[in-house]
Amino acid sequence: MELSKHYDPAVTESGWYARWNANHYFNSFPDDRKPFTVVIPPPNVTGVLHMGHTLNETVQDILVRRARMSGFNACWVPGSDHASIATEARVVAMLRDKGIDKNSLSREEYLKYAYDWKETYGNIIYDQIAKLGCSVDWNRTSFTMDDHYYKAVISVFVDLFRKKLIYRGARMIHWDPAARTALSDEEVEYQDVEGILYFIRYPIIGSDEFITIATQRPETIMGDTAVCVNPQDPRYKNLKGKQINIPLINRQVPLIFDDYIDMEFGTGALKVTPAHDINDYNLGLKHGLKVINTLNEDGTLSPAAEIFVGMDRFEARKKIVERLRNEGFLMKEEAYATRLGFSQRSQAVVEPRISTQWFVNMKPLAGPALEQVFSGAIRIHPGEKFLATYKYWLENVKDWCISRQLWWGQRIPAWYDNKKRFVVAENEEAAIAAYRQEFGALQEGEILTQDEDVLDTWFSSWLWPMEVFRGITEPGNREIRYYYPGSVLVTGQDIIFFWVARMIMAGMEYMNERPFSDVYFTGMVRDRLGRKMSKSLGNSPDLLKLIEKYGADAVRFGIMISSPAGNDLLFDEAGLEQGRNFNNKIWNALKLVKGWQGRLAESPDKTESSAEMNFAVVWFENRFNQVKNEMQQLIAAFKLSEALKNLYSLIWDDFCSWYLEWVKPGYEQAMSPAIYKRTILFFDELLQWLHPFMPFVTEEIYHLLKDRGTGDDLCIKQFGAFADPDLRVLGTGGHLRALLTAGREFRQQHQMKNTEPISRIVLPGEIFGDNQSLYAIIRRQLNTSVIDFKTNELEKDQRIHVIPFLGHQIGFETEKKIDAVKHRHDLEEELSYYQGFLENLNKKLSNERFVKNARPEVVALEKKKKEDTEEKIAAIKLTLNG
RNA sequence: GGACUGCUAGCUCAGUUGGUUCAGAGCGCUGCUUUGACAGAGCAGAGGUCACUGGUUCGAACCCAGUGCAGUUCACCA
């Protein structure tokens, strides 16, 4: 069969993915093998996979495929997350485009639209996961709003409520005015912004005096219910018992005293607005102040504000500043650097707001989660970066606000009577029963009404490692017993609190066991210049287009090769190009090896060329063992990028550039069948080791290399055992390569083409021993027919070019005269380097303190270095004077 | 403001318990090479005061202290 010039991923990738699935290679069932369980961090159904997902999925696939090929029963569960706020925002926007107002719909009608949306986008994401080659078990696809999953979330809510770990109460929470819902602390992102500090004077009642306060938020003065100063502040001591008038609305509020006030800041006087600031709220509690909420849910001013009612808060700020200025209350404005909280999903500026919400009491859950990580039961990679953050968060964890004023999500299972008394139960029927028990029978005509709100998405995601195996809804079932706990969780470091810590809490609470043994945090994907990927910068590439252009293997390669463990990944298409070229390199090696198939010698091999005696074969086998050992260690330490680099270099340099050249038959020569067979085996195994990283090209070439029986697919081929490398063989290989390089350099310097033979090479015999196949390599690679070993008889002949080599001398004899001047110059430079080196060694060895204090091995090593260097110097001198 | 992490070749990063065959890799760069697997390539090569300043040590990219810069994260000072 004629093989194309370049490898073409498009034709092979879809075909192989379909075949793997048809053969159910990715479907897992509990059996006698050890499980290797990975649950995908479920992407939001709101959109498409971005490069961060691509990195995560690739890492997971590498680990899962490797486990599958290492005797484990690998199970990778795919799925998606309903992402309540984000999806609701998208669906509402979609409806608006269609001219439909969400508020005109019933809950049921709305949810129908939302589910349609989910079907469309969820499937796009799954298609991308497949295109990337991810070996997930599609039969296990889970969604956080599946029926059983929904039930699991509800039952966990009910259970935690009964355990008094969930409560309902009025608290100061973060309010997203755009999404019109409460948020958890984690969903608020702070940004430094340039603000203005306004100095406003408030009239003191019963005098002509004023007291000046400083604020960033003049639009909240209508919510002021006090002005506060430090009791130690001499400026204000005389104002005790005074009332203050709020400008514009003329409301009287008391002047209060509290240590909390920093006398240095601003004017040392604070306007207290308990409804709109957490600190003011606390002050209000302490001093029994009124709470006046001047903002509506959407961020406009409420009737309680009295003025500018219905105007947006930022617009109102401008107007109020204007009026304060006109009416003489605004004393000055100062530029002020501050920090504002933004909603992670809607980007709206978050408002502190007092509101009745549901909360999880986190402290009791945090303890075991902390212990799991600190005892080493759960290992975090890379540890040093995240341990401290993890610990701090858990030790200072605050209660988790879990209710959201949305429709897309699990509806809170609480039912209220007319008097707002409530019961929590799995469903309405149970609620009625529970109600009767707690409050007695319902009044005639009275009904219980379910809470309108839904739960935070993360309140469902935290059950993911359990409920994908129905561990909550069918506790103790066969699957949860087999697959739980999972092996490794791969995710972005940005959701360590949102998800990872909470999963550990839930796992400990409901399984009394960690949900996974290792957590591998990938970095953030940035562009080539280190900027975050964002839509507005247009630097976020389209995954499917990249796969179309380079192939999925190249995308995987490109993203892994530049992704050192735990560091941010600077995404650059150059890496993908490197991956594509790598595909092609392997493809061409295939073409070369296939070409030998028709040239196999008919007679059995003679001893000299038989594979076991052949230096190239022996050397490569050991080199491969060396890399296998290195890779094993690197992968165990989650250094996947390093492992891939080693393998890349093994294939490209050691296999293609050295090994294949060494065993390549000469022009019109036959190929040794024994060596051919070994070469195919090496190739097979190289593909196998590469397969987890680049599954498509390896599977394709594996099948082109040789006819395979049914079911002999690389995807499920089990790794064999491997030995430690023989270091002596590796050493000799290194010398051989150095010799060949020296020969090439010699040719380069003297403009000798490869076709022009070197008539004779003189080598010190002790370096390479008596392996004939090795000398055969030297002869062919350097294009020479004669190798002599009489180094001490190197004639003083213009045609002999003598160079120092590993403390010895080697000579190249040619037909033409060589340029001796440049040669001398190089040698002299080399000589002076070694002389300097020797001087240092001598200095060190004559230093009594060194000889006395250093370990004996080190001293011996230095002495050996000295001897070697002296030998080298002698060899160079001999050459120069020779 | 606190905490953490990093600073090694033009770029991205390795460098395990301190020992000048240890200053490395990939990409990029420079030169040469085109009938025989591969120009999506081959071969050869150039590039670094290991952020800075001190200290410990016979010896420091590596350990310690300080400084600078960058990044991450936490924090209620209006």
A812 token code pair = 């190249």
Give the integer Cα–Cα distance in Å for A565 and A379.
Answer: 14
Determine the distance between A750 (CA) and B33 (C1') in angstroms.
14
**A557: pLDDT strictly greater than 60:** yes
The residue from A725, A745, A764 where one domain ends is A725
Residue A726 has φ and ψ, to the nearest 5°, of -85, 110
A318: containing domain: 181-352
Answer whether any strand B atom is within 7 A of the Cβ of A595: yes
Answer whether any strand B atom is within 7 A of the Cβ of A517: no
Determine the distance between A432 (CA) and B2 (C1') in angstroms.
52
For A714, which DSSP code?
A: G
Answer whether any strand B atom is within 7 A of the Cβ of A213: yes
Arithmetic mean of pLDDT, A678-700: 97
Give the integer Cα–Cα distance in Å for A156 and A421.
Answer: 21
pLDDT bracket for residue A820 (50, 70, 90): low
For residue A344, being part of any structural domain is answered with yes
Identify the bridge partners of residue A802 per DSSP, sorted by sequence position: A811
For residue A641, being part of any structural domain is answered with yes
> Is the bond preceding A231 in cis, omega lying within 30 degrees of 0?
no
Give which of A328, A308, A310 is closest to A318, Cα–Cα.
A308
For residue A540, being part of any structural domain is answered with no
Protein-proximal nucleotides of chain B (any atom < 7 Å from a CB): 3-6, 11-14, 19-21, 25-28, 31, 36-45, 57-59, 73-78
Nucleotide nearest to A836 (CA to C1'): B20
Residue A47 has φ and ψ, to the nearest 5°, of -160, -135
pLDDT: which is higher, A649 or A820: A649
For residue A170, being part of any structural domain is answered with no
For residue A281, being part of any structural domain is answered with yes
Determine the distance between A706 (CA) and B71 (C1') in angstroms.
51
Determine the distance between A799 (CA) and B71 (C1') in angstroms.
61
The residue from A305, A333, A352 where one domain ends is A352
Answer whether any strand B atom is within 7 A of the Cβ of A439: no
**A873: pLDDT strictly greater than 90:** no
247-286 of chain A touching strand B, CB 7 A cut-off: 260-271, 277-279
| C-alpha dist (Å) from residue A447 to A46, A247, A431, A435 | 36, 48, 11, 11
The tens digit of pLDDT for each residue in A413-462 reads 999 999 999 999 999 999 999 999 999 988 888 899 999 999 999 999 99
Nucleotide nearest to A580 (CA to C1'): B40
The tens digit of pLDDT for each residue in A307-349 reads 999 999 999 999 999 999 999 999 999 888 888 899 988 889 9
Answer whether any strand B atom is within 7 A of the Cβ of A817: no
Percent of chain A with pLDDT over 70: 96
Determine the distance between A648 (CA) and B14 (C1') in angstroms.
15
**A292: pLDDT strictly greater than 90:** yes
CB-neighbour burial class of residue A767 (10 A; exposed 0-12, middle 13-18, buried 19+): middle
Give which of A533, A534, A594, A590 is closest to A559, Cα–Cα.
A533
What total number of domains does chain A contain?
A: 2
For residue A327, being part of any structural domain is answered with yes
CA angle A504, A509, A514 (to 5 degrees): 40
Determine the distance between A539 (CA) and B39 (C1') in angstroms.
31
For residue A826, being part of any structural domain is answered with no
- Here the CATH number for the domain that contains residue A289 is 3.90.740.10
pLDDT of residue A193: 84
For residue A463, being part of any structural domain is answered with no
- Here the CATH number for the domain that contains residue A662 is 1.10.730.10
The residue from A725, A756, A784 where one domain ends is A725
pLDDT of residue A255: 94
Dihedral-angle region of residue A526 (phi above 0 means left; psi in -120 to 50 means alpha; beta otherwise): beta
